[in-house]
């Protein structure tokens, strides 16, 4: 498989803009043709409501293709840059070039979007690619495999499904770039393996995304936006608010609004709501349930059913910092609400934790917003909003530290899979003062430095 991909890439077929456009447009047509199949598969794998599935998966991918096609010609053009005077009459350019044959490993929580979005960037940049889906999303994997087979020649792009052993063997091969979305633990293993062959990697990981609500925030709107961001896809979103840190002055009122919002969104029996998703498998249901067994104060929710993979939207408080739920990424519909009194003390505590993929600030005070953003490191920031920053083609998306390395979406996706080759081009005429014997060259250089620098 890998040899056929390398042979296809070395043929130069992927280099022309027309070739890249042809396959991006073909992929877009196939997605439109299969959009109902994709929605059904996402419901089968995750119980994902059609509106959530279309907005966050199908529509996102289609809009990403449109945005990239609109800008591809400009992005592919060699960029002229200035040349130092002493190099005259040379010219300098930066040439966007494909990296080669790339491996893209997708997760299960947004199985279509999080595999197809980087794939689109790889295609736009002129690469050949292998796509590896998660075994926990078998129905969506099957549809994606059919789409890839219908749209691409085998030497151009391959789709692979399988278990962890298959993924491990893939990572061990010699790639020109590896793009992985998933857990920090697995990302660390991939980076270690890639380091053996000095393969560049992009890691889109996770983390415990703090959400800070100050007492000058609009409590009702804050509760709505936090509840939506947290319980969208049943909390299985890498940039979902993980824990709310709420000013002690408004905590009680905030929790009241939060409970009312959950009921308004999903009814008194969320298990009957067509707008609430399911947990991916029983193992994750058990993991989430274990968090509630360690003395957490359940304010609302807490019910679950392993057989139907249902876990109720749950709000908890009175959680010790030593509890497992405060140390591990929750990745599910449990929302701890922790009160705080002093902003500086909170900043100090959060600053000790690994850098999250997202940070959320709810406040009208712009100076306070700026203070928090400067004090705390994170991959992205949402101010008086949640998760929407991850859906903009104009904003690069990625983590920092334990939440990942590298960025994509829009132009950043093209850049992610592109090597920007520096080119200095000169003719056969020009001064030769820089050749030995140097004589008084150093004096000339010193004088030039005083003039120009």
Dist. CA 49–CA 39, nearest whole Å: 8
Torsion-angle region of 100 (φ positive above 0: left; ψ -120 to 50: alpha; else: beta): left
Question: How far apart are the C-alpha atoms of 156 and 123, rounded to whole Å?
Answer: 10
Q: Treating both helix axes as pointing N-terminal to C-terminal, what angle do 138-151 and 17-46 enclose, rounded to 10 degrees? A: 160
Q: Which residues contact 268 (CB under 8 A, 6 or more apart)?
A: none
* Helix 164-171 / helix 184-196 crossing angle, nearest 10 deg: 30
Q: Are 365 and 214 in contact (CB under 8 A)?
A: yes
Handedness of CA 236, 242, 248, 250 (dihedral sign): negative
Q: Is 3 assigned a catalytic role?
A: no
Which one-letter DSSP state was computed for residue 57?
I
The closest of 75, 115, 68, 121 to 95, measured between CA atoms, is 75
SS3 311: strand
Helix (H, G, I), strand (E, B) or coil at 448: helix
Dihedral class, residue 331 (left if φ above 0, else alpha if ψ from -120 to 50, else beta): left
HSE of 158, CA atoms in CB hemisphere, 13 A: 17
Q: Decide if 238 is catalytic.
A: yes
Hey, how many other C-beta atoms are within 10 angstroms of the C-beta on 256? 14
Q: What are phi and psi of 24, to 5 degrees?
A: -65, -40
Tell me which residue of 242, 254, 249 sits closest to 340, measured CA to CA.
Answer: 249
Please tell me which residue in 151, 157, 211, 238 is annotated as part of the active site. 238
Catalytic-role residue among 52, 204, 329, 402? 204
CA 235 to chain centre: 16
Q: Alpha helices of 310-433 — where are they, by DSSP H? A: 343-351, 366-375, 411-416
Active site residues: 204, 238
């Amino acid at each position: 498989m890998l040899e056929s991909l390398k042979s296809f890439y070395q043929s130069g077929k992927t280099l022309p803009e027309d070739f890249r456009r042809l396959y991006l447009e073909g992929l877009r047509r196939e997605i439109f043709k299969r959009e109902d199949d994709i929605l059904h598969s996402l419901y089968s794998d995750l119980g994902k409501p059609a509106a959530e599935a279309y907005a966050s998966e199908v529509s996102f991918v289609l809009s990403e293709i449109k945005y990239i096609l609109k800008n591809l010609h400009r992005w592919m053009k060699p960029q002229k840059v200035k040349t130092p005077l002493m190099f005259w009459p040379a010219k300098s350019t930066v040439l966007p070039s494909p990296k080669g044959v790339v491996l893209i490993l997708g997760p299960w929580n947004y199985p279509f979007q999080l595999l197809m979005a980087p794939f689109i960037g790889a295609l736009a940049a002129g690469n050949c690619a292998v796509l590896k889906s998660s075994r926990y999303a078998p129905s969506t994997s099957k549809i994606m495999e059919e789409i890839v087979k219908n749209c691409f020649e085998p030497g151009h792009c391959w789709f692979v499904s399988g278990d962890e052993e298959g993924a491990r063997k893939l990572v061990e091969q010699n790639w020109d770039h590896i793009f992985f979305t998933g857990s920090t633990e697995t990302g660390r293993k991939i980076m270690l393996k890639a380091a053996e062959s000095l393969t560049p990697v992009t890691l889109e990981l996770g983390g415990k995304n703090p959400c800070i609500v100050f007492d000058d925030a609009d409590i009702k709107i804050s509760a709505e936006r936090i509840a939506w961001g947290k319980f969208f896809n049943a909390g299985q979103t890498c940039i979902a608010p993980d824990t709310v840190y709420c000013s002690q002055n408004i905590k009680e009122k905030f929790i009241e609004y939060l409970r009312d919002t959950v009921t308004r969104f999903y009814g008194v029996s969320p298990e009957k709501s067509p707008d609430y998703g399911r947990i991916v498998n029983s193992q994750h249901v058990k993991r989430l349930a274990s968090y509630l067994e360690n003395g957490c104060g359940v304010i609302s929710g807490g019910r679950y059913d392993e057989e139907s993979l249902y876990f109720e939207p749950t709000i908890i408080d009175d959680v010790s910092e030593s509890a497992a739920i405060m140390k591990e990424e929750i990745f599910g519909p449990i929302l701890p609400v922790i009160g705080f009194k002093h902003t500086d003390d909170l900043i100090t505590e959060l600053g000790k934790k690994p850098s999250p993929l997202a940070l959320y600030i709810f406040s009208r005070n712009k100076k306070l917003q700026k203070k928090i953003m400067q004090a705390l490191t994170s991959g992205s920031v949402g101010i008086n909003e949640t998760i929407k920053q991850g859906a903009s083609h104009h904003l690069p998306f990625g983590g920092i530290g334990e939440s990942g390395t590298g960025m994509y979406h829009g132009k950043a996706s093209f850049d992610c899979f592109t090597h920007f080759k520096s080119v200095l081009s000169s003719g056969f005429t020009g001064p030769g003062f820089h050749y030995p014997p140097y004589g008084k060259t150093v004096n000339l250089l010193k004088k030039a430095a005083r003039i120009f620098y």
